[in-house]
Structure 1
Amino acid sequence: MSRPLRPPGSRGGDGFASRVAVLIAVLATIGTLFAFLGTSSHNDASLFKTTAAMEKTSAANAWAHYQAKSSRQNLAELAATLPGVDAGRYTQEVERYRVEKDIIRKEAERWEASSRDWNRRSEEALHRQRQWAAASVAQQIAISLAAVTLLARRTWLLTLTGAVATFGITLGLFAFLEGNTTALSPVPLGAALAAALLTEGVRRAGRHLDS
C-alpha cells in the first residue's frame, strides 16, 4: 500500500507533533527563566540606584560640613590678626580646622566615588535586564512559531523557530556572562543565521530520507 501524499514541506504522524510539543515546553521553560532573571536584574538596578543616591546625599552632607569648617577657619585666621587677642590660640584653631577639613574632604570624595560606582553598577544591571527581556521576548516568538508549525505541520517553520530561539539563547548567554552584546550585535544575529542553516540542512536531509 502506498503512503498518502502530503503537502510539500509538511510532515505527518504523532512523532512530529510530540517533538514539536517537547520543543515548545523547552522554549517555555527557557523563556520563563529569562523573564525571572530579567526581573532580578531590574530589582538589582533599582537597589543600586537607591544606594547611589544615599551615598550622594552623604557626600553632600560631608561637603556642607567641610564648608562649615572652612568658615570657622577663616574666622580664626581673621581673629588671629586682631590686636589684643591671643594669636597663638587662634593659630592653633586654624591648624586644627585645616586638619579636620582634610579628613572631611577625603570622606566626601570617598562618598562621591562610592556613588559613582553604584551608579555604574546600576547601569550595568539595567543593560543586563534589557538583554534578559529581549531574550525572553525571542523565546516567546519562537514558541508562537513552534505552535504554528505544530498546527500547520510545515516543517520549514522549524528553521525560523530554531533561528529565533538561538537568537534569544545567545542574548541570554551574554547577559549571564555580563557581556555588552545588544540585540543588533553581530554575534546573536550570526548565531541565529547559523542555527537556521543547520536546521534547514537537517530538515532537507530528513525529507531526502523520507522520499
Structure 2
Amino acid sequence: MSSNGFHVHGPHDHEVEHAVKHGGDSLTAQIAMFTAVIATVGAILGYMGGATQANAGLYKNNAAIKKTEAANQWNYYQAKSNKQNLAELSLEIVSGSRREFYQNEIERYKSEKVEIKAKAEQLETEAGDWEGRSDQQMHQHHRYAQATTAIQVSVAIAAIVLLTRRNWLKTVMYGMGGVGLVIGGMAALHI
C-alpha cells in the first residue's frame, strides 16, 4: 500500500483477497491453494537447481586443478627423462670410475620416473572423476531448471484460469504442475 492509499496487485492477488474477504467460490479456493503449494515447491526446486549448478562449477574447478597438477607431474617426469638421457650420453663418453657414477644416476632417474608417472596417472584419474561429478551435477541442474519452468508456467496458467473460468485450462494448469513435480522428482533421484 502506498502513502496515497493506492494498492496495486495482479488479478490472482485480487481473486485470493476476494476469496478470503467474501468467502469466494470453491474454484478460487482451489486455485489459491494449488498456487501456494506449487509455488513453494517451485521455490525449493529453483534453489536446488542453483545449488547443483554451483556444485558443478566447483567440481569442474577441482578437475582443472587436478589436470594442472598432473601436467606438472608429467613435466617433472620429462625433466627426469632428460637428465637420464644426459647421464646415458655421459656414460658413453666417460671412462673409468665416472662410468659407475653415471650408471647409478641412470638407475636413480629410472626409479624416480616410476613414482612420478604413477602420481601423474593418479592425478589424471582424479581429474576425470571430478569431471564426471561435474557432468552429473549439470544434468541434475538442467532437470531442476525444467521442473521450475513447468511450475512457473502452471502458476501463470492459474492466473488465467481465475480470469477466464475455463475448466480445460484448469486441467492444463494441473497437468503442467504435475509435469513440474515429476521432473523435479527425476532431478532429486538423479534421473
Distance 1:160 1:145 in 2: 8
Q: Which residue of 2 aligns with 1:151?
A: 163
Q: Which residue of 1 aligns with 2:187?
A: 175
Q: Quick check: 1:140 aligned with 2:168?
A: no
* TM-superposition CA deviations, 1:42-66 (whole Å, max 9, x none): 1001101111111110011000000
Secondary structure of the residue aligned to 1:81 is helix
1:128 offset after TM fit, Å?
Answer: 0.9
Q: Quick check: 1:14 aligned with 2:25?
A: yes
| Match among 93, 96, 113 for residue 82 of structure 1 | 93
1:87 offset after TM fit, Å?
Answer: 1.4
1:156 offset after TM fit, Å?
Answer: 2.2
Structure 1 unpaired stretches of 5+: 1-12, 180-211
Give the 4+ runs in structure 1 shifted more than 4 A.
none
Distance 2:94 2:142 in 1: 69
Q: Quick check: 1:121 aligned with 2:130?
A: no
Q: Which residue of 2 aligns with 1:54?
A: 65
| Match among 50, 58, 61 for residue 39 of structure 1 | 50
1:84 offset after TM fit, Å?
Answer: 2.5
Q: Where do residues 93-108 of structure 1 align in structure 2 (5 Å cutoff)?
A: 93-108=105-120
Distance 2:180 2:34 in 1: 15
Point out which structure has higher relative CO (alpha carbons under 8 A, 6+ apart). Answer: 2
* TM-superposition CA deviations, 1:63-112 (whole Å, max 9, x none): 00000000011111111222324212211111110010010001011111
Q: Give the percent of matched residue pairs that are identical in Structure 1 and Structure 2.
A: 38
Q: Which residue of 2 aligns with 1:195?
A: none
- Bigger mean CA deviation after superposition, 39-48 or 154-163: 154-163
Structure 2 unpaired stretches of 5+: 1-23
Letter of the structure 1 residue corresponding to residue 112 of structure 2: E
Distance 2:89 2:153 in 1: 74
Q: Please, what TM-score do these two structures have when normalized by structure 1?
A: 0.76
